[in-house]
Amino acid sequence: MSLEGKAALVTGGGQGIGFATARHLLERGMAVAVLEADAWAAAVAEAALGGLGPVAMVVGDVASEADVDRAVGEAERRFGRLDALINNAGFGIWKPLAELSLAEWNRVLAVNLTGAFLSARRAAPVLARDGGGAIVNIASTRALMSEPDGEAYGASKGGLVALTHALAVSLGPVVRVNCISPGWIDVSGLKVGGAAPDALSAADHAQHPAGRVGRPEDVAAAVAWLIGPEAGFVTGANVVIDGGMTRKMIYV
């Protein structure tokens, strides 16, 4: 499948799944703009990605309307088009409910959910302009199941799944909108800061029905498929990429 000559914007593309996605799309012939809040991660990513194809790196906050406008505008200026938006930026705060402040709750929702809304609203007219495009939101299996102390993160990702089908109905048929909910994806090797990748145990892998922990490339490949022509009949979907864990009955 060729994405040659097309352009994408990846939010949170300086590390982790976002970086792997930007790299994967560049390797398939796309030009890629990245909106990244961490200036250090942005610099490291730009150096690593620059040799693969056209890259436009924008340092900014996805929860800022002005920064989102700047990122989409830079993609238009540099590439003359925008064919795909990957709403990947996100983070979590894990605290007991009684200790989670309103400011922390609001910040998680601002980045994980409002940022996707702002990006979709700004990018949609540009995606539609050149004959249609695609949006992929990166949610989480935490939208479907929980561990303790994840209220803000789970709510934001559940909202992102719902935002996906709302946007799919509103923007179709010109713009398709889908969602990916990753499970355990080992991104430790794609984090800035110099820390060594996590040492995964045999038990970590074996507990997954697929036999291993996920890799960022698993998600990146699904993104490429969802924004490409072979997924032309797919919209409003939530694709769970978790090695089968959400389908496994676990009794202690």
How many other CB atoms are found less than 10 A from the CB of residue 69? 15
**Beta carbons of 68 and 118 less than 8 angstroms apart:** yes
Tens digit of each residue's pLDDT (9 = 90 or more) over 133-148: 999 999 999 999 999 9
Integer Rg of the chain from CA: 17
**Beta carbons of 127 and 85 less than 8 angstroms apart:** yes
Tens digit of each residue's pLDDT (9 = 90 or more) over 106-127: 999 999 999 999 999 999 999 9
At position 179, the amino acid (one-letter code) is C
Q: Provide the CATH number for the domain around residue 39.
A: 3.40.50.720
Residue span of the structural domain in which 70 resides: 7-187+196-247
Q: What pLDDT was estimated at residue 249?
A: 86
**Beta carbons of 91 and 111 less than 8 angstroms apart:** yes
Has residue 252 been placed in a domain? no
Has residue 167 been placed in a domain? yes
Has residue 207 been placed in a domain? yes
Specify the 3-state DSSP secondary structure of 81: coil
Has residue 53 been placed in a domain? yes
CA distance 161 to 137: 8
Known catalytic residue: 251? no
Has residue 1 been placed in a domain? no
CA distance 18 to 88: 6
Has residue 2 been placed in a domain? no
Tens digit of each residue's pLDDT (9 = 90 or more) over 219-246: 999 999 999 999 999 999 999 999 999 9
Q: 3, 127, 153, 242: which is the annotated catalytic residue? A: 153
Has residue 56 been placed in a domain? yes
Has residue 148 been placed in a domain? yes
State the total domains in the chain.
1
Q: Kindly tell me if the per-residue pLDDT of 1 is higher than 60.
A: no
pTM for the model stands at: 0.95
How many other CB atoms are found less than 10 A from the CB of residue 27? 14
Question: Which residues, 6+ apart, have CB-to-CB distance to 201 below 8 Å?
Answer: none
Of 196, 69, 169, 179, the residue nearest 121 (C-alpha): 69
Q: Kindly tell me if the per-residue pLDDT of 154 is higher than 90.
A: yes
